[in-house]
């Protein structure tokens, strides 16, 4: 189903097009009604539209319209939202990303190439001091971007404020030495007032990014944070599987990510090629390209796609070729942390992998004169 909003004044939805694809080739969802005697279950691609006057340019009410009780109708044995088209009224009503691709590059100092990033691992268990020690190693190794794991929030062992202060001191020290300030996305997922307080703390200490888990804070929480934030918002999609994994139910990421971009996200997780999850490379590629596709002529709302999930030097060339752009964040956990030479060598190996890919040189050939990359490729093949 491809929803759209339009300007006609009657209140009913309208079927703009209906393409019958054939008999349904998947099991019926629980509670589906049986076809009439002699009938068949058919699959189709439908484009529906609703009058804008029904809801106004409101993202929460848009969600209630296109993703509400339709999913529960017993006449459907499956229903999936493939894409959405929104009128310019939504561009006027919402801020979109205050820091998208250009803002992220400006703050991180990384230009003309992918941003090399990582996730602090273990996800929980480190104290603020231990987190800062690891950040020190990563900064020394030339990392561009560091993020909290989504499980790391404001726990007793690693309180948010102590973590931000300890990590910020390390990042500032390296920035004073080499002139490039590493972007660190601190996870402030929480209630709205709590997120605002955490955002202000990060900003006051010179931080350049905050992170929120979209499915945890919800659309209203993201809108509130997006309107308030004066820093880039790194949007994590954890929980995406329950919205998408069954082929007969839920959302395509191509449709879903538009809501969050308009609400103010500046980075969007898209999974990764040859990932550890269930998503295909074709789906990941479509998701990433969608993040760089303008939403409106007057407000593109383009954002940085974030490739993560079991990423290593092996995926660098394929990622660059699939996306067709260097505008991406490549966040590798084990691909950096597990490098036999240590995290700094892991950073160097990923940088070398993308250097090779951008030059059109096979990674194995480039590795013959770049030992960090050679070790990473051996590790990834083991």
pLDDT at 37: 85
Same domain, 122 and 80: no
User: Which of 68, 93, 118 delimits the end of a domain?
Assistant: 93
pLDDT of residue 36: 85
Q: Are 80 and 222 contained in the same domain?
A: no
Looking at the structure, do residues 81 and 119 belong to the same domain, yes or no?
no
Identify whether residues 141 and 31 lie together within a single domain.
no
pLDDT value at position 9?
A: 54
Which CATH number characterizes residue 336's domain?
3.20.20.110
- Say what the pLDDT of residue 10 is: 58
Domain count, the chain: 2
Residues 79 and 130 grouped into a single domain: no
Find the CATH number of the domain harbouring 64.
3.30.70.150
Residue 81 lies in domain: 2-93
> What is the model's pLDDT at position 335?
93
Q: Quick one: 17 and 142 in the same domain?
A: no
Q: Are residues 196 and 71 in the same domain?
A: no
Same domain, 166 and 271: yes
**Cα distances (Å, whole numbers) of residue 56 to 85, 258, 309:** 14, 17, 38
Which residues make Cβ contacts (< 8 Å) with residue 74, sequence separation at least 6? Answer: 31, 32, 33
Q: 352 and 373 share a domain?
A: yes
The DSSP result for 317-372, as a single string, is HHHHHHHTSS--EEE-SHHHHT-TT-HHHHHHHHHHHHHHHHHT--HHHHHTT-HH
Say what angle helices 371-381 and 343-359 make with each other, to 10 degrees: 100
| End-of-domain residue from the set 93, 119, 145 | 93
Q: Are residues 140 and 273 in the same domain?
A: yes
Do residues 97 and 301 lie in contact, with contact meaning Cβ atoms separated by under 8 Å? yes
- Asked if residue 315 lies in contact with residue 354, where contact means CB atoms within 8 angstroms, the answer is no
Last residue of a domain, one of 43, 68, 93: 93
Residue 332 contacts residue 350 (beta carbons within 8 Å): yes
Domain identity same for 198 and 264: yes
Q: Can you list the residues of the chain whose pLDDT is less than 50?
A: none
Q: Give pLDDT, residue 33.
A: 86
Q: How far apart are CA 198 and CA 161, in angstroms?
A: 8
pTM of this structure: 0.94
63-95 as b/e: b if 16+ CB within 10 A:
eebbbeebeeeeebbbbbbebbebeeebbeebb
Are residues 160 and 111 part of one domain?
Answer: yes
């Amino acid at each position: 189903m491809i929803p759209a909003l339009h300007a006609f004044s009657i209140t009913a939805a309208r079927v703009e097009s209906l393409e019958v694809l054939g008999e349904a080739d998947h099991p019926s969802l629980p509670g589906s009604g049986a076809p009439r005697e002699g009938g068949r279950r058919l699959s189709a691609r439908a484009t529906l539209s609703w009058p804008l006057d029904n809801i106004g340019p409101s993202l929460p009410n848009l969600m209630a319209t296109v993703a509400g009780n339709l999913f529960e109708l017993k006449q459907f044995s499956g229903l999936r939202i493939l894409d959405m088209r929104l009128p310019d009224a939504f561009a006027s009503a919402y801020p979109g990303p205050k820091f998208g691709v250009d803002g992220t590059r400006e703050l991180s100092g990384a230009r003309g190439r992918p941003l090399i990033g990582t996730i602090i691992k273990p996800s929980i268990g480190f104290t603020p001091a231990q987190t800062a020690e690891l950040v020190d190693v990563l900064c020394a190794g030339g990392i561009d971007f560091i993020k909290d794991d989504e499980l790391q929030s404001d726990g007793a062992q690693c309180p948010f404020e102590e973590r931000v202060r300890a990590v910020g001191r390390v990042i500032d020290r390296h920035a004073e030495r080499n002139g490039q300030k590493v972007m660190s996305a601190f996870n402030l997922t929480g209630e709205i007032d709590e997120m605002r307080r955490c955002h202000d703390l990060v900003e006051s200490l010179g931080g350049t990014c905050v992170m929120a888990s979209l499915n945890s804070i919800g659309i209203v929480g993201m809108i509130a944070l997006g309107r308030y934030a004066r820093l880039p918002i790194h949007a994590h999609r954890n929980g995406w599987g329950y919205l998408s994994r069954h082929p007969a139910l839920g959302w395509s990421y191509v449709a879903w990510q538009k809501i969050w971009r308009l609400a103010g996200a500046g980075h969007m997780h898209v999974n990764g090629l040859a990932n550890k999850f269930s998503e295909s490379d074709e789906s990941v590629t479509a998701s990433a390209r969608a993040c760089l596709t303008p939403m409106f002529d007057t407000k593109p709302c383009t954002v940085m796609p974030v490739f993560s999930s079991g990423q290593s030097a092996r995926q660098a060339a394929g990622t660059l070729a699939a996306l067709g752009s260097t505008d991406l964040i490549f966040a590798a956990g084990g691909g950096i942390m597990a490098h036999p030479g240590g995290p700094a060598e892991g950073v160097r190996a990923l940088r070398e992998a993308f250097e090779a890919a951008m030059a059109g040189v096979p990674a194995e050939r480039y590795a013959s004169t770049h030992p960090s990359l050679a070790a990473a490729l051996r590790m990834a093949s083991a």
